Structure 1
Amino acid sequence: MTATDYQAPTNAYSDPNVTPPLAQAIPLGFQHVLAMFASNVTPSIIVAGAAGLAFGGPEQVYLIQMAMLFAGIATLFQTVGIGPIGARLPIMQGTSFAFVGVLAGVAATQGLGVALTACIIGGAIHFSLGSVIGKIRWLFPPLVTGLVILAIGLYLIPVAIKYAAGGAADFQMAAESFGSLKHWSVALTVVIVSLVLKFFTKGITSNAAILIGLLTGYLLAFIVGMVNFNAVGNASWVTGIQLLPYGFEFSLGAVIAVTLVSVVSAIETVGDASATAKAGAGRDATDEEIAGATYADGLGTAIAAFFGGLPNTSFSQNVGIVGMTGVMSRHVVTIGGLVLIACGLVPKIGAVIASMPLPVLGGGVIVMFGMVAAAGLNVLSEVNLNRRNMVIIAISLAVGLGLNLVPTAVQYLPGVVKTLMTSAVAPTALCAIVLNLVLPEEEAA
């Protein structure tokens, strides 16, 4: 059964509190999971690699489990809610790509303890934004948010290419085979299958195109002898959750960088909440729904970090599913959240994901990261590209990406400031916000 088999009239399921029959609700819940599953676990794999964790090892498996478990828990915060927490809309939460650049840099230089501590504090600050989010939205017009999203995608694209080519020494892979035809054959298989399914099929196969592409690449990698299942055999069936698995280590620079990205993530969640209400019910999101969505975002991030999970955010691709099916039921997405929780509690599932060779993952993230950059361009398309705004775009990207590409340019700055200035996302956001506030608007001709 596909989504197109049971599209309902908008007025039938436009109420978030109405649930379709289980024969429809359960497949729709699984479809929400399929649409976001690959994107949800990828950030944990990247940050684990940057932190120097053994590829496919038990620590990486644990981080993948936490990504699934707390994406599910954060989704329940949104759909079920606790008091003012949660939009009580069909919003699917997942591990955010926006934080990957900052967290990979912090994990590589200062360790996962510092990175996760910053996420705990950043999540708490993110949570507090729920009470003021409506008042500070003016600081983040499309010019600023589009630039930040574009910077995230551009920063991550080199990582995608490195993975597709087979990784490198700093990502726990043998550098001798880097760029081999075998690696690129697997990566390009993922890309081609994903594109074919996305644009030439409909329903679940289209929405889960990247996931199916990854599975196809995984199969090819297994056939050519690139997959090692030793970790899967050694993994248990039931997980033990650890509180502060890497300790609590405070770094002001890391906290500032994560907090800046958290603010941008909060603005994105506001957009997703608004888009969900418009797509599923044809109305604007209420102030309570926007505040509740922000509270759930921050709480999900903070709690996940206590147990080794990375920051959560709303997933825009799932908004598209709501619009496509016309099913606004929050209980459908609750089913998806419960599926993720079940996956997160079974280490063997995490071990299977961790056994995925880097070229397979690389093929998937070429598409994913490229789409992040494209999403930023889509937001910027709303902006009047006059001389003022072009200057803001030029300087913000030049400073943000330039310092990230040449970190030695600020090697004499204090550690806290250096971490902030070389994180790509943070300096891009700072430049865009300041220049947008300082430079006068151009008068219309």
Structure 2
Amino acid sequence: MSSHSPDQPSRPSRTINQNPDAMPPLSKAIPLGLQHIMAMFAGNVTPPIIIAGVIGAGTGEQIFLIQVALFVAGIATLVQTIGMGPVGARLPIVQGTSFGFLPVALPLAGSFGLAAVLGASFIAGLLQVVLGTFLKKIRHWFSPIVTGIVVLLIGITLMPVGINYAAGGVGADDFASPTNLGLALFVLVVTILVHQFGRGFLKASSILIGLVSGYLVAIALGMVDFSSVTDAAWFAFPKPLQYGMEFHLTAIIGMTLIMFVVGLETIGNISAITMGGAGRHAKDRELSGGVMADGVATSFAALFNTLPNTAYAQNVGLITLTGVVSRHVVTIGGILLICMGLFPKLGGLVAAMPPAVLGGAGVVMFGMIASAGLKIIQECELDQRAMLIIAVAMSLGIGLPAVEAIAKTMPGQVGLLLKSGLVPAALAALLLDAVLPGKPDRRERLAQEQAKEHE
């Protein structure tokens, strides 16, 4: 039952939207699905572009790598939203190519080639499915204090990404130019105004309206290069195993370690969706199915020549902002992604959007992820024990990435794990929560929650 009074006109629609199985009318669901795709598009195609540079790929190969990244993300998104047996959270989760694996994938691709990266990804994906299968037995390890810290750190980690986009994208000739920053500010202001003063569907589409407005202004300013649309084919089916697979132990160990962190991120993202959007804790089957789907998506991605897939945090921020938790909206987004993968010219249209446009929206979305983390932490009693766990984890999570020299002095994979900050922070939170005296009985609380679900 909602505690809001019926005389508040904007509340009932949000309460309906809090049900993941609710289906808005198609006239609203399609634009909302498109909004999700525009939010994740740049993040999804950037890792393949970076990998293409490392392996010396030509323009044709680069377009192919972008195409398979879109196709795989679409299929993987449907696995999450529709589900296959125990696999899939059946929540509005958008899957996409993971930035988290790049610190390991880039040196591996340079040393062993893309085939070794794909082989290691395939194995890491299978191991993540195993992790998801046993998640119910270890769920009590992931208390609100642990998942809240992970979600908060995901948001904090992504904030500089949003600002970099707003400045024009790292490496851009006009990085941090007044034009780029002004365009990002325009998108940010439009998004805030529409979200604050819009009602119903208009309010829920605030990110899309901000992005489209910014795109149109960018076209008027001559900032959009449509050559990616001209060069792209009308129709092309992605070819699996184009680069083959090789299996090197070093690569497999590196990918598996990062996979564990990505699994923690997925748990955090699912918790953020249910808490920030649906106003409840995630269920066992949602967490287990979501992590298993992450693994299936990663192995599937390797077969189709692209990097591991994971639940996209920027879309979690979008759900938290709009309050629309319908998984069917994201299913439509997944179908649009598959179409972009099969009809590369469609993908080219979105690829032409200047990074500054996305940056303006990213400032809001990534901040909303951090806000969702704070909301999860708020579920705990913030006593001295909880404050100590937060203090240690946040210091490691923010401090270690800021001092890169520490990661450089560590051997191999240890250095890579310290560089992210999220791994030591998550491990510290897990360990401290497990060993410090005075931990609330999480198992009993979960049992009570599950009993209520079955009533």
Q: TM-score, normalised by structure 1?
A: 0.78
Corresponding residue number in structure 1 for 2:152 = 150
Which residue is equivalent to 2:390?
Answer: 393
Structure 1 CA distance, aligned partners of 2:420 and 2:208? 29
Partner deviation per Cα, 1:178-220 (whole Å, 9 max, x = no partner) = 3221111111111111112222213333223222212221222
**1:128 and 2:130 aligned:** yes
Deviation for aligned residue 1:239: 2.6
Out of 84, 90, 94, the position equivalent to 1:82 is 84
Match of 1:260 in 2: 261
Aligned to 2:446: none
Give the Cα–Cα distance (whole angstroms) in 1 for the partners of residues 435 and 295 of structure 2.
Answer: 30
CA distance in 1, matches of 2:140, 2:234: 48
Deviates more, 1:245-254 or 1:370-379: 245-254
Contact 1:124/1:302 (<8 A) preserved: yes
| Residue 416 (structure 1) shift | 1.2
Secondary structure at the aligned position of 2:370 is classed as: helix
Aligned equivalent of 1:44: 44
How far apart are residue 334 of structure 1 and its match?
A: 4.6
1:314-353 superposed matches below 5 A:
316=316, 334-353=331-350
239 and 428 in structure 1: CA distance in 2 versus 1, 3 angstrom threshold:
farther
Q: Which amino acid aligns with 2:261?
A: L
Q: 1:154 to 1:301 in 2, by over 3 A?
A: same
Q: Deviations over 1:262-310 (max 9, x none)?
A: 144146437757999x78xxx9987656644443343223213432154
RMSD: 3.9
| Residue 352 of structure 2 corresponds to residue 355 of structure 1 | yes
In structure 1, which of residues 137, 151, 167 is the aligned counterpart of residue 169 of structure 2? 167
Would you say the 8 A contact 2:49–2:66 is kept in 1? no
Q: 2:373 maps to what in 1?
A: 376
Q: Tell me the CA shift for residue 232 of structure 1.
A: 1.2
TM-score (norm 2): 0.77
Shift of 1:394: 1.9
1:106 aligned partner: 104
Asked if structure 2 preserves the Cα contact closer than 8 Å seen for 1:151 and 1:425, the reply is: yes
- The equivalent of 2:309 in structure 1 is 311
**Partner SS, residue 152 of structure 2:** helix
Q: Distance in 1 between matches of 2:46 and 2:394?
A: 23
Structure 1 residue 317, shift from structure 2 partner: 6.5
Structure 2 gaps of 5+ residues are 1-9, 441-455
Q: 3-state SS of the aligned residue for 1:312?
A: strand
Q: Secondary structure at the match of 1:382?
A: coil
Identity %: 35
Is it true that 1:184 corresponds to 2:181 in the alignment?
yes
Deviations 1:408-439 (A, max 9, x none): 12322211111111112212111111122222
Residue 419 of structure 1: aligned partner: 416
Deviations 1:57-101 (A, max 9, x none): 6666555544543343234324544344345x4x2331369x53x
Asked whether the 8 Å contact 2:69–2:96 carries over to 1, the reply is: no
Q: 1:263 to 1:152 in 2, by over 3 A?
A: closer
SS in 2 for 1:238: coil
Partner residue, 1:27: 27
Structure 2 residue corresponding to 1:203, chosen from 196, 200, 205: 200
- Report the Cα distance in structure 2 between the residues aligned to 1:96 and 1:429, rounded to whole angstroms: 22
Please state if 1:437 is matched with 2:438.
no
Alignment of 1:224-239 (within 5 A): 224-239=221-236
Give secondary structure in 1 for the equivalent of 2:353. coil
